[in-house]
Each structure stands twice: as C-alpha cells, then as structure tokens.
Chain A
Amino acid sequence: MAKKEMDNRFSKFGTVSFTAVTRVNDFIGYLEQGKLMGTKCKKCGLKFFPPRADCYKSLDSDMEWFEVSGTGKLLSFSTLTFAPTGFTQDLPYTIAVLDYGDYKVFGRVDSSIPDSELSVGMAMKAVVHPLPNDRMNYVFQKG
C-alpha cells in the first residue's frame, strides 16, 4: 500500500518556516495563485487574518476563504539591522502591521521602499511575493 503523503505545503512560507503542517495549508496554494487569503466562519461570519481552521466563537470548523484586497492603514513598522539566525541574508528588512478594518495583517514591507518613505497612517496594500527556492511570502507596497 502506498504511504499517504503528508501535505506539508506550509513549510514553504517565509524565509524560514517553523511550521510544516496546518489545516490551513491551502493558504500556500492561494499564494501560488497570487492571492493573499484569510478565512471566514460560515456560521457567524467572523473574519480571520491570519487564517484559522477553527472558529472559537461558533466552535465550528466550517470556514470559507476570502481575499485580502484593497488597502490597509500602516499601524506601525520597524526596520531591522540585526537579524535572528536564518535571516541575516535578508538584512535590512522592515516588518509592519496594516489595519484593514475587519482584520489586520502582519508582514514585511517591500524591500524597495526605504524606512524613510514610511509613516504611520499611510495606505499600503499586501501583495504576494515569491522568494528564492520556491518559497513564498507577502509584502506591503504603497497603496
């Protein structure tokens, strides 16, 4: 009997992934289609980003995917000049949070945008970003 293959697509997320298997592995499938997706509880309508497989409110796991679209407001950011193990080759890089209203998104700012061009409150959009070695993440660009 053939051994059932484990769906470990999440191991492709980011520069270094610390998680291989999750019940929201389709997140990576959507990234590969160029879409950044969150989940929404079909029962109560609560939206989750990052996506969740389970809704703590409805105690239900029947979720549907929605696309993160439009622009969000830059809530805060920081540019790192020292990195943890595994990320040194990416330096310098900027982490940030965007507020989309119903949900917020944590991620990286597009490396072409210098720290000096960022300000809290500015509009930005999240776009899917391919990384070397068939890896994926998403970055924020000016909205």
Chain B
Amino acid sequence: MSKVGIIGVGQSKFVRAYPGSVRELVFEGFKEAMEDAKVTTKDIDATIVCSAPEYDKQRSPSGVFAEYLGLNPQPTFYVESLCSSSTTGLRLAYSLVKSGLHDMVMVLGFQKMSEISAAESQERMGRGTDIQWEAPFGTMMPAYYAMFAKGHMAQYGTTPEDLALVRIKASTYGILNDRAMNRKVLDMDAFKAPAPLAGILSTPLRVGDCCNNADGSSCVIVANEEKAKAFSKKPVWIKGLGSATAAVNMAGRETFYSLPAAAEAARQAYGMAGMKPGDINVAEVHDCFTIAEILAYEALGFAKPGEGPALIRAKETYKEGRIPVNVDGGLLSKGHPVGATGGSQVRTIVLQLRGEAGDIQVKDPAIGLVHNVGGVGLYANVTILGRE
C-alpha cells in the first residue's frame, strides 16, 4: 500500500482585519508552504480551495488564486464544509493522490471575515444551520454551542470554571504563537465581572468562552510516497481519515452533551490507522468554544463521557500532560478564519511531528491528531498523522 504524505505547510498570521485583498491573504500561507516543501508551481498538479462562501465577495475564488499564484493551467476547484472546509480539502487531496490521478495536490484554506460586522457575521454563521426552521428564531453559533454547554452541565455537573480552564490553557500557549491573534495570558480573574471576557453572550457562555472571527490563510501540500520522499527529508504521513455528519436541525439531535459526528469520525480514523486514543501523542481540536474542547476530549476518547472536565482540571492536556491538546493556543487564541482553520491545525501537528514546533514542542511525538468540526457538529473530520 503506497502512502500519502504532507511535505509542506504554511499559514498567514491570523488577524482581526487583514490589510489586503483575499488573493494577497492567500499568498501568505501559500508562500510559507511552497518554501517549506521546496517545490515549484509546476510540481503542483491540482489545487483545492477551501472556505465558507458566505463571507466571500469574490465568486469562485479558486480561479482567481490559480492565476495569482502562478498555478495555471492546472485544475483547481472549491470545497466547503463550514469551519471544517480545509480538512475536507485534505481528505479530497488524499483521495486524488491515492487514486493516482495526481502526484501532488495543494490544499488552500482562507477566510476574510473582517469586511462585515460582528452581528452580520453571526447572522451569516447562523445561516450555516437550518435557515428554514431555526434561523427565524434568531440563532447564532455561540447560542447553539451554549445549548451544548448547558446540556453538559446538566448531565455531568460541568461548571463555568471548567470552561474557563480551557481558555486559560489556550492563553498559556497563545502567547508563544506569533501567528495568533490573542496573545495575553489569562487567569480566573479574567472571568470575574466586570472583566470584558466575563460578560454573558448566551447563557452559560461568556465572551471568554468564544473564539474570535479572524482573517487568515493556510496551505498544505500533499504528495504521493515517491514524490514525498524525493522532496522532503521529513514527510509526515496521513495514517487515518474519518469524516461524518449529524442532523443540521437541533430537533434531530439525540443529546445536548456530545457531538456524534465527531465520535463517528474519530472511530473511522482510529480504525483506518489501526490505532486507539492512547496512541496519540499530540492533538489539535476544534475549540471554537471552550465547551467544544471538552466535547472533543470525550469524542476522541481522551476522556470517558462526562470526564472531559477532569482532564483539564488535572492539566493533562497541557504540553507536559498525558495528551497535549492545542499547544498552539487553539482557535481560542489564534482566532478562527473559518476556511483556514483546519489547515492551521494540520500545520501545527506537522511541525510537532517534525520536531520543529519551537517553544510549544511536545517531547518527541510520533503520532498526532487533528479534530476539525463544521457547524454545530454538523460536519466533523478527524485526521491522524504520523512520522513513519
């Protein structure tokens, strides 16, 4: 069985308002990945562009980027699964390479969210859920995840302090990540009124429980085994891929204390890799909200159902802990440029597995995992990467 490897990763800084156009924003992630992989545009056989289109003013951005990045006449196309778009792109890149159709495929993720107001962006994000039956009630992402926080609290006794611990951990690493938007160390006082992060957004979630919208781009270059070995001294191999969905309408969900699509995607990825949760040395999970990281611990099997809060209380997901999670600061510190986020998570794990993660380097990891969720657990992708 031939392997599929990642030979180049890049991302822009994630910022509140990028002072340039989307093609210029995408160039930043692209440049870093191209220099990392030491390839030329002629080596790239196809490009998959990933974003959530509700923020784009440019229709069909793939063609614009192909021209701007010197990728004509190779094929390019667009894919979206909300916040998990760029790991959906990675899944497609894997299949294009694995099938033998292409030798090397680029996955470009981007989002420029700063051109619309926060309230407008919440309205558009809300329209990533059920617009016919739910949006007329005035829904938005923080309110949906708040329902899962409330559900987890009612089922397992999780507390607002447990949620704050997730943000405090994120801030510990955000300060070490020069690509992150939030680079201030926080403690429990940040969650005490009248501190700005303590303000309630949607009960029980506070401002500090939520990640920020951001502008950013990411780029991942995937190659077949022969090319990966030829171009890279340290290719990182795709060992397992899982992808699943759940009901878009909350009336279709069985519980409000877990995200079943993430658990199913994890089951598939572990199965394909022939691994179990205990084999993972470092993980990036989709902490769009603090509760989402706790749900991820449980979906991925790092903790049993209901025991996610115990994991963060014991600092087991810190860099020195049993299973380091989001040691790049996560979405909570980096910001969340929807279509670029999955690629940024992949970049962090690739750098970790190559031993090139600098201040946030976990001790000698061999296997890493990326958990990237779109919508309110509507889409979930779990990817397992390895050095061997």
A residues within 8 Å of B by Cβ?
A: 10, 13-19, 22, 49-50, 75-88, 90, 93, 95-97, 103-108, 115, 119-121, 137
B294 CB to closest chain A CB, in angstroms?
15
Please tell me if the beta carbons of B137 and A137 are within 8 angstroms of each other in the complex. Answer: yes
Given A49-B251, A75-B151, A104-B251: A19 touches B203 (CB 8 Å cut-off): no
Given contacts A18-B132, A84-B139, A87-B138, list 18 more A-B pairs with CB under 8 A.
Answer: A10-B132, A14-B136, A18-B127, A18-B136, A76-B148, A78-B147, A78-B149, A82-B202, A83-B122, A90-B138, A95-B138, A95-B143, A96-B147, A97-B251, A103-B251, A104-B250, A106-B134, A120-B150
Please tell me if the beta carbons of B147 and A108 are within 8 angstroms of each other in the complex. Answer: no
- Report how far A13 CA is from B200 CA in the complex, Å: 28
Please tell me if the beta carbons of B203 and A79 are within 8 angstroms of each other in the complex. Answer: yes
Please tell me if the beta carbons of B250 and A83 are within 8 angstroms of each other in the complex. Answer: no
Please tell me if the beta carbons of B252 and A83 are within 8 angstroms of each other in the complex. Answer: no
Q: Which residues of B contact A75 (CB under 8 A)?
A: 151, 255-256
Please tell me if the beta carbons of B131 and A19 are within 8 angstroms of each other in the complex. Answer: yes
Please tell me if the beta carbons of A84 and B137 are within 8 angstroms of each other in the complex. Answer: no
Please tell me if the beta carbons of B123 and A85 are within 8 angstroms of each other in the complex. Answer: yes
B355 CB to closest chain A CB, in angstroms?
43
Contact of A83 among B140, B151, B204 (CB under 8 A): B140
Please tell me if the beta carbons of B137 and A108 are within 8 angstroms of each other in the complex. Answer: yes
Please tell me if the beta carbons of A84 and B123 are within 8 angstroms of each other in the complex. Answer: yes
Contact of B154 among A15, A90, A120 (CB under 8 A): A120
Q: Which residues of B contact A105 (CB under 8 A)?
A: 251
B109 within 8 A of A: no
The 4 nearest A-B residue pairs measured at CB: A14-B136, A87-B138, A120-B154, A84-B123
21 contacts between A and B (CB under 8 A): A10-B132, A14-B138, A16-B138, A18-B135, A22-B132, A50-B249, A78-B147, A80-B140, A80-B202, A81-B199, A81-B203, A82-B201, A84-B138, A84-B139, A84-B140, A85-B120, A87-B138, A95-B137, A104-B250, A104-B253, A106-B250
Q: Mark B47-75, 1 if CB is under 8 A from A, else 0.
A: 00000000000000000000000000000
Please tell me if the beta carbons of A85 and B122 are within 8 angstroms of each other in the complex. Answer: yes
B314 within 8 A of A: no
Please tell me if the beta carbons of B147 and A50 are within 8 angstroms of each other in the complex. Answer: no
Q: Which residues of A contact B199 (CB under 8 A)?
A: 81
Identify the interface centre among A22, A79, A105: most chain B CB within 10 Å of its CB.
A79
- Report how far A77 CA is from B136 CA in the complex, Å: 16
Q: Which residues of B contact A87 (CB under 8 A)?
A: 138
Q: Which residues of A contact B133 (CB under 8 A)?
A: 50, 106
Please tell me if the beta carbons of B143 and A16 are within 8 angstroms of each other in the complex. Answer: no
Given A106-B137, A115-B203: A86 touches B154 (CB 8 Å cut-off): no
- Report how far A79 CA is from B137 CA in the complex, Å: 12
Please tell me if the beta carbons of B202 and A78 are within 8 angstroms of each other in the complex. Answer: yes
- Report how far A14 CA is from B251 CA in the complex, Å: 17
Please tell me if the beta carbons of A19 and B132 are within 8 angstroms of each other in the complex. Answer: yes
Q: Which residues of A contact B343 (CB under 8 A)?
A: none
Which residue in chain B gives the minimum CB-CB distance to A104?
A: B251
Which residue in chain B gives the minimum CB-CB distance to A13?
A: B136
Please tell me if the beta carbons of A81 and B200 are within 8 angstroms of each other in the complex. Answer: yes
Please tell me if the beta carbons of B135 and A80 are within 8 angstroms of each other in the complex. Answer: no
Please tell me if the beta carbons of B154 and A76 are within 8 angstroms of each other in the complex. Answer: yes
Q: Which residues of B contact A10 (CB under 8 A)?
A: 132
Q: Which residues of B contact A76 (CB under 8 A)?
A: 147-148, 150-151, 154, 256
Q: Which residues of B contact A78 (CB under 8 A)?
A: 143-144, 146-147, 149-150, 202-205
Given A18-B127, A88-B119, A120-B154: A81 touches B136 (CB 8 Å cut-off): no
- Report how far A10 CA is from B142 CA in the complex, Å: 26
Q: Which residues of A contact B150 (CB under 8 A)?
A: 76-78, 120
Which residue in chain B gives the minimum CB-CB distance to A51?
A: B133
- Report how far A49 CA is from B247 CA in the complex, Å: 13
A92 CB to closest chain B CB, in angstroms?
9
Please tell me if the beta carbons of B203 and A84 are within 8 angstroms of each other in the complex. Answer: no
Which residue in chain A gives the minimum CB-CB distance to B120?
A: A85
- Report how far A115 CA is from B204 CA in the complex, Å: 10
Please tell me if the beta carbons of B147 and A15 are within 8 angstroms of each other in the complex. Answer: no
B235 within 8 A of A: no
- Report how far A84 CA is from B144 CA in the complex, Å: 13
